[in-house]
Amino acid sequence: MTPLLQVRGLVAGYAGSRVLHGVDLDVAEGSTVALLGRNGVGKSTLVAAVMGMVRPSAGSVVMEGRELAGKPSDVIARAGIAIVPQGRRVFAPLTVEENLAISVRRKRPGRWDVPAVYELLPRLAERRGNRGDQLSGGEQQMLAIGRALLANPRLLLLDEPSDGLAPAVVSQVADVLATLIQEGLSILLVEQNLRLAFQLADEVTVMQKGELVLRCPTLDFRSDEARARQLLGVA
Ligand SMILES: Nc1ncnc2c1ncn2[C@@H]1O[C@H](COP(=O)(O)OP(=O)(O)O)[C@@H](O)[C@H]1O
Ligand SMILES: [Mg+2]
The CATH number given to whatever domain includes residue 224 is 3.40.50.300
Q: How many other CB atoms are found less than 10 A from the CB of residue 94?
A: 15
Question: By three-state DSSP, how is residue 186 classified?
Answer: strand
Q: What is the per-residue pLDDT across 99-139, written as a single tens digit (0 to 9) for each?
A: 999 988 777 889 999 999 999 999 999 999 999 999 999 99
Show the domain range for 184. 5-90+153-232
| Dist. CA 167–CA 177, nearest whole Å | 15
pLDDT in tens, 14-29: 998 999 999 999 999 9
pLDDT at 66 over 80: yes
Structure pTM? 0.96
Using alpha carbons, select from 222, 166, 168 the residue that is nearest to residue 197: 222
**Structure letter (DSSP) for residue 111:** S
Q: How many helices (H) does the chain have, and how many strands (E)?
A: 10, 10
Which residue of 18, 19, 86, 212 sits with most ligand 1 atoms within 8 Å of its CB, as the best mutation to test the pocket? 19
Cα(112) to centroid(ligand 1), Å: 32
CB atoms within 10 A of CB 229: 12
**Residue 64 resides in a domain:** yes
pLDDT at 214 over 70: yes
| Mean pLDDT computed over 88-109 | 89
Whether 160 maps to a domain, the answer reads: yes
Ligand 2 geometric centre to CA of 46 (Å): 9
pLDDT at residue 235 above 70?
no
Whether 48 is in a domain gets the answer: yes
The answer on pLDDT for 40 being more than 80 is yes
Is residue 109, in this structure, part of any structural domain at all?
no
Residue 117 within a domain: no
Ligand 1 pocket, residues with Cβ under 6 angstroms: 14, 19, 37, 39-45
Does a structural domain hold residue 112?
A: no
**What is the maximal distance between C-alpha atoms in the chain?**
48
Least confident of 84-93, 103-112, 160-169, 207-216: 103-112
Closest CA to 150 of 70, 69, 191, 96: 96
The span from the CA of 62 to the CA of 218, in Å, is 24
Residue 118 covered by a domain = no
SS3 83: strand
Tally of domains in the chain: 1
Q: How far apart, in whole angstroms, are the C-alpha atoms of residue 109 and residue 93?
A: 28
Indicate whether 53 pLDDT > 80.
yes
133 domain-assigned: no
pLDDT band with cut points at 50, 70 and 90 for residue 93? very high
Q: At what angle do helices 137-149 and 96-104 cross, to 10 degrees?
A: 20
| Euclidean distance between CA atoms 152 and 111, whole angstroms | 7
Give nearest CA residue, ligand 1 atom 6: 14
pLDDT at 90 > cutoff 70: yes
Half-sphere exposure of 134 (CA within 13 A, CB side): 12
